[in-house]
Every structure is written in structure tokens, then in C-alpha cells.
Amino acid sequence: MSDRRPELGWMRIFAEVARLGSFSAAAAALGLTQPAVSYQIRRLEEQFGVNLLRRQHRGVELTAEGERLFQVAAKAVGDIDALARSFRTEAQRPVVRLRTDYAFSALWLIPRMHGFRQLHPETDIQIVATQRLEPGFRDDGDVAVVFGTRAEFSAIGSLLLQEKVVPVCTQGFLDRNGPFDNPKQLAEAILIHLDTPMPSPWFDWQSYFTEFSVIRDAHADRGDISFNTYSLVVQAALSEQGVAIGWMGLVDTLLQARMLVEASPPLEAADRGYWLVPPRSSSAHSEKLSTWLMNEAGKVG
């Protein structure tokens, strides 16, 4: 990108003449002719109605009025040049895009992003949050973190977080409504659901209870609630509205802080979870992001 300075007309010309003390030197610095510089200064003096320069045998010097104008013009030119350099630098910064779903970006990625910025301050991340990506999804230039099965993504990606879930609620909710030492007791509690297509691509309450051979009466009036995004499910659990399914990796920091507690036995799926899918056309920046994601996921547990 060009390093050409923004055109400021008379202001830049006057500042250069005042700084260098010479029409000829200013003309050379600006790539203009000496008569063109002299003409601009003469027009400027006519517009202001005062003499800004005293012509001497070898150059020029500022009058009192010229000195006052120079203080303003020099600062303005310097500030604008600095801003232009800043714009160019920002435009040249590398950006790597990460496609993932709302839950992973809000609950796993954002709390950890400062770590990537500390390691790679020269690279910006642009997060593109979307609903669940299709099986086998792969972008030409973007890194992706997608939820799916081994059959869907193992050929093109690496397992980042295996699906492991545990029922979670606040300690206060557990004290008032528990204990839920086994899934049969949990089946009597108020549950918070995540709306999903049927069949669910991940653990939901029905599949959780099925794994433990527990039949829950779907017609019993317990006051269950449901949401269409997982972030709202977690928020409802934090607000002591019921028990939610907690995905390890997404709620682990809340468990460590005791904002949520484990309410019943965990469950895991060996061939399902979040997969890291590199772009078809990788770059040094996408590889840095992919390596950092794998390293961060390895810290979970």
C-alpha cells in the first residue's frame, strides 16, 4: 500500500515552507515547482490579509502572524499524517476468521481469546457465529469449529472437545430441590431444555435418561422451560430456574467458580463432539489459530 501522505493543499505547503525556510526546499520536498509554491503562499497571504513570511536574500522567515498559523498548521498536518499511518497499519493487519456456533463462541472461545491475542498480537480474529454447520462443512479460507460425529468430520478435522455432559444447577437450587444423586431422582426435577431438531444431534434430556434406563413422564406438570440457544439455557440455570445439561468445555469455568454445580452423574459420547476443521487453503495465520485452539482444548479437564 502506498505511503503517500493525504493532500492538505495550502496547509501542507505552508508548513513545509515554514519548517524548511525556503520555497525551493519546500518545493523539492513536496514534488512541486518553486513558482507553484510561491503562488500558493501568495494566495494564502491574500486570503488572510496579512504577511505570513518575510522574504530574505536566502530564504524566508515567519512573521508573528505566520508563526501563529504555523503552530496550528504543523500540528494539524502532523496529526493527520499520524492518523493516515494508523489507518494503513490497521488495513494491513492479518485477519483470520473462525466459524463456529453461538454456544462455543460465547462460552468457550470468548473467555479465552485474550490468550491468543497475547501470543499473536499481530493477528486479529474475526468470529463468525452461526447455527450448527452442516455435516462435512469445510470453508476455503476460514477455520471452523463444528459439532458433529466422527463419521461426519474425522476425515477433514480433529476432535477438539469430546462430548461429555453433566446435569448442572446452582447450589441453591440443589439445596432446595435435591438431592439428585441418581437420574431417577433427577427425572422429578424442573429441567431446562435446548430446542433441537429431532433426533437431537447431541445429548438432550430424553437421550440422557434413556442411557440410564429411566422413563420420565412427559405429561407430568413440572414446569420445564426451553430455549433455542444454549447461552440462554445456561443463563436460566444460573438464575436458579432448573437443571440444565452442561457440556464440559462450555460450562467448566462456571463449575470451577462454583457458580454451577454438578447435580447428577455425567455421560459421554466417544465419537461425538466439537471438531476443528482447517480451511482448504491454509495460511500461517490459520495454522497459528488451529494450533492455539488444540492447545487450549488440551487444558480442559
The reply to whether 114 and 56 lie within a common domain is: no
Q: Are residues 67 and 102 in the same domain?
A: no
> Is 192 within the bounds of a domain?
yes
Domain membership flag for residue 1? no
**Cα dihedral 114, 116, 121, 124 sign:** negative
Number of structural domains in the chain:
2
Distance CA 148, CA 158 (A): 11
Are 181 and 272 within one domain? yes
| CB atoms closer than 10 angstroms to residue 27 | 20
Task: For residue 245, give the CATH number of its domain.
Answer: 3.40.190.290
Instruction: Write down which residue in 57, 92, 127 finishes a domain.
Output: 92
Q: List, in order, residues 6 or more apart from 18 with CB less than 8 Å away.
A: 53, 62, 66, 70, 73, 74
Are 108 and 73 part of one and the same domain? no
Classify residue 114: in a domain, yes or no: yes
> Chain-wide mean pLDDT for the chain?
87
> Angle, nearest 10°, between helix axes 64-92 and 10-20?
110
The confidence score (pLDDT) of residue 92 equals 64
Tracing cell 498548521 back to the chain, one arrives at 73
Same domain (yes/no): 118, 43: no
* 189 neighbors 222 (Cβ within 8 angstroms): yes
Domain residue limits at 169: 97-298
CATH of the domain at 23: 1.10.10.10
Residues of the chain with pLDDT under 50: 1, 6, 300-301
Compute the radius of gyration of the chain from its Cα atoms. Answer: 32
C-alpha 246/C-alpha 261 separation (Å) is 10
Beta bridge partners of 191: 243
pLDDT for res 160: 93
For residue 3, tell me if it sits in a domain. no
Paired strand residues for 10: none
Question: In the 3-class helix/strand/coil scheme, how is the chain assigned residue by residue?
Answer: CCCCCCCCCHHHHHHHHHHHCCHHHHHHHHCCCHHHHHHHHHHHHHHHCCCCEEEECCEEEECHHHHHHHHHHHHHHHHHHHHHHHHHHHHHCCEEEEEEEHHHHHHHHHHHHHHHHHHCCCCEEEEEEECCCCCCCCCCCCEEEEEEEHHHHCCCCEEEEEEEEEEEECHHHHHHHCCCCCHHHHCCCCEEEECCCCCCCCCCHHHHHHHCCCCCCCCCCCCCEEECCHHHHHHHHHCCCCEEEEECCCCHHHHHCCCCEECCCCEEEEEEEEEEECCCCCCHHHHHHHHHHHHHHHCCC
Residues 208 and 196 sit within 8 Å (Cβ to Cβ): no
What pLDDT score does 78 carry?
A: 87
Tell me what pLDDT residue 1 has. Answer: 42
